[in-house]
Structure 1
Amino acid sequence: MNLLGMIGGTSWHSTIEYYRLLNELVGDKIGTQQNPPLLLYSLNVKLMRENDPEKIKNSYLEIATKLEKAGAKAIIICANTPHLVFDFVQPKINIPILHIADAIAKEAQRHGYKKLGLLGTKPTMTGNFLQGRLAEKHQIDTLIPSEEYIDETHLFISEELTQGKFTDKAKDFYLEQMQLLKERGAEAIILGCTELPMLIKETDTKIPLLDTTKLHAQMATEFILKENK
């Protein structure tokens, strides 16, 4: 099996989900008498809350370099928003970063979806690192909540979900946003925050959901089990 480097900590709740899924998915393939080789670096979430783009990018580069030197054959960033560092970090290391947008696209294409709703943090929804990659590399369009709802969509994540709080108020809000996105043409909804699948389940709505955590872990599982050429 290939050694996978993991960058987690934003938040530790979602990092646990990644670790659990990777072990379960690999176990489903090769049996539970084995488990995958994983190298986890859990950073302090304070880094993201400081909102210093240069510090964030350089910190992720430093961590990715450490993981590469330690023998990782690829890296997975265990959250959606930190993928904003991808274009800065990837050219400076010699192993691939498994991009979460590519995992989303693979599942969307399997179902024939061309237009997706996106829920996540404000940087994830308004930035180009996820929407841009989906459009330019995979020809998939994305819709985000109306401007009046952007801040509230972000605040539930930053002030509740990443703190391990999962309330009915937050759940009702996101279900309403999903319906609004569907009415605007979204064929499925990207749960673009790794805590959202912990709040919203497929049984909560008839709208198709794309669980980025699970899809990303599936992509990583394929890499872990891929034979070296």
Structure 2
Amino acid sequence: MLSDRIKQARQLVALSQQQVADRMGVSKTAVFKWENGHYEPKNLDILANILGVSLSWLREGRGSPFPTIATLLPTEVNIVAENQDETQVRFYSSIEQAGTVRSKQSHIQHCKKISLRTELLERKKINPHMVVCFPVNDNSMEPIIPHGTIFAVDLNRTNIIDGNVYLIKQNHQYRIRKLYSMPYEEVRLHAFNTKEYSDVCVPADQIIIIGRVFYYAVEL
């Protein structure tokens, strides 16, 4: 049933009913009613995008919940580990390419591969197909995270855990920021470089959380 798939998809991406409601511009009660079969959402395409699932799966139960990511994987990227200690994941040359990985244009972007420890992915229960890596070339997170740091982001983790670092889209730009949930449905964006980047509080619906950073490394 549609109601079951909505609830399943929401839980798969670890979003609360309130978070889905905020992004859809409806009440939490509306989401509750969707998941209990009282009525159906009007904009299933928008809901599918928010939940990161296939519209055909959400509407009719056809195919896999996450076919988009799998079909966008370039042929040169092999998610089979060369050995049991390492797993291959996607590596993009810029934060913009990584941020738009879900878009229809992603399949034309050149994508390399990078190895992460299999133990790390398994311990954090991360699906390698839902990981994107990329370097960040700005100073907003210095001195804690210097210019040139390579980030690994789990696209499945979009729920806010206060103090965690996320890849977000704000005002058509992609950024790495610490996030904090605030009263009145706002989110505080924190950059480590407070001399140049002050904390700002914005309405939750003015940012898109692409995923949570679970690992970063600095090339020396």
Q: TM-score when scaled to structure 1? A: 0.32
Q: TM-score when scaled to structure 2? A: 0.33
Which protein has greater RCO, CA pairs closer than 8 Å, 6+ apart?
A: 1
Q: Which is greater in Rg?
A: 2
